[in-house]
Amino acid sequence: MLFFSRLFATSAALTAFLLIATNEVVAIPSNVQIVQPEFELLYDATVTWPFNVTHFTTSGPFGVRALIGPTGGNLTNSSTGDVVGTIVPGVGGELGVVSTVNGRIYMKVTFAIQWTDDQHFAYFDTDGIGLFQTPQSSTGYLHVETDSPSKQSLQNNLLLLSIMVLGNAQTPGLNETVGYFRVYQKSSPDPIYVNSTST
Ligand SMILES: *[C@@H]1O[C@H](CO)[C@@H](O)[C@H](O)[C@H]1NC(C)=O
Ligand SMILES: *[C@@H]1O[C@H](CO)[C@@H](O)[C@H](O)[C@H]1NC(C)=O
Ligand SMILES: *[C@@H]1O[C@H](CO)[C@@H](O)[C@H](O)[C@H]1NC(C)=O
Ligand SMILES: *[C@@H]1O[C@H](CO)[C@@H](O)[C@H](O)[C@H]1NC(C)=O
Ligand SMILES: *[C@@H]1O[C@H](CO)[C@@H](O)[C@H](O)[C@H]1NC(C)=O
């Protein structure tokens, strides 16, 4: 029995060693550089929703589906605080599903934004994950579509959207629900292949 457990321990150690060795063999070669993503802050936003957003839901086969449309709001430049866009009321919103298994909301947040400077529109579409409680918070991958000539870089970069929606208990006296979100843009490079035979 003792012999068997020693043998087992030895073989477990050997397996661990082999796994480490295997990991070293399959490790990413030094000329493939995948850097940890870094993000810069672009926009701050305020968004308003109807009072008691939990009322705007329906239960389906995947869980509780949110059907919460925005009533207004705006986007500001995070460095200057200037208003750069408004959230078009009644278009899109939080259409995510709250899982019956883990209680997480698999967010599906869409907004139509009208830019202040040129009046063009933008479509914001975020898929992510978060908590559907009070207050609610979630973060996801945002993609933007817009024909505003000066905002084309939003379509060419990886964006994140982080949102918090306050409960009505956190905003006593207000007959609406208030949320805040921020938009970040990846500032670090995509994976890089370094051709060591060039230079
Ligand atoms: C915010 O304003 C600054 C100063 O005008 C500008 O350089 C920057 O591009 C603006 N940021 C965004 C996301 O529009
Ligand atoms: C909020 O909505 C839920 C679901 O419809 C309802 O049960 C609850 O009474 C509402 N709360 C308030 C304060 O209106
Ligand atoms: C931005 O939107 C919020 C919520 O609708 C509002 O309270 C605020 O006054 C707006 N700010 C500007 C500068 O329009
Ligand atoms: C709150 O707003 C709803 C419509 O959004 C309205 O029916 C209701 O009377 C308002 N309640 C108060 C206390 O202002
Ligand atoms: C590496 O660079 C050399 C010289 O510029 C070039 O001939 C070769 O095709 C490159 N190899 C790869 C895999 O990109």
Q: How many helices (H) and strands (E) does the chain have?
A: 2, 15
Residues 50 and 128 in one domain: yes
Residue 194 lies in a domain: no
196 in a structural domain = no
96 shares a domain with 25: no
Q: Domain check: are 163 and 99 in the same one?
A: yes
Q: What is the pLDDT of residues 92-144, one digit of tens each?
A: 999 999 999 999 999 999 999 999 999 999 999 999 999 988 899 999 999 99
pLDDT score at 24: 55
Same domain, 115 and 157: yes
Asked whether residue 126 is assigned to any structural domain, the reply reads yes
Are 85 and 154 in a shared domain?
A: yes
16-38 average pLDDT score: 73
- Ligand 3 centroid, distance to 103 Cα (angstroms): 32
Asked whether residue 18 carries a pLDDT value surpassing 80, the answer given is no
Does one domain contain both 73 and 151?
Answer: yes
Q: Which domain holds residue 136?
A: 39-186
Over 50: is that where the pLDDT of 3 sits? no
2: pLDDT confidence band, cut at 50, 70 and 90?
Answer: very low
Residue 24 lies in a domain: yes
In the prediction, which pLDDT does 164 show?
96
Residue 126 and residue 170 share a domain: yes
Pocket of ligand 3 (CB under 6 A): 46, 48, 72-74, 83
Query: Does 62 map to a domain?
Result: yes
Per-residue pLDDT, averaged over 50-61, amounts to 94
Q: Give per-residue pLDDT as tens, 74-106.
A: 999 999 999 999 999 999 999 999 999 999 999
Same domain, yes or no: 103 and 163: yes
DSSP H/E element including 95: none
Residues 146 and 52 in one domain: yes
**Domain annotation covers residue 163:** yes
Q: Does residue 197 lie in a domain region? A: no
> Could you tell me the maximum CA-CA distance found in the chain, to the nearest angstrom?
80
Out of 32, 194, 197, 199, mutate this one to test ligand 5's pocket (max ligand atoms within 8 Å of CB): namely 197
Instruction: Tell me the CATH number at 139.
Output: 2.40.160.20
Q: Under a CB-based contact definition with an 8 Å cutoff, are residues 186 and 161 in contact?
A: no
Same domain, 20 and 52: no
Q: How confident is the model at residue 4 (pLDDT cuts 50, 70, 90)?
A: very low
Tokens of 27: 């490790």
* pLDDT(73) > 70: yes
Number of domains in the chain: 2
Domain identity same for 74 and 149: yes
User: What's the confidence (pLDDT) of residue 119?
Assistant: 98
Q: Is the pLDDT of residue 12 over 90?
A: no
- Ligand 3 midpoint to CA 79 (Å): 17
Q: Are residues 9 and 74 in the same domain?
A: no
Q: How far is the CA of 52 from the centre of ligand 2 (A)?
A: 6
In a domain, residue 193? The reply is no
What average pLDDT does range 147-159 have in this prediction? 97
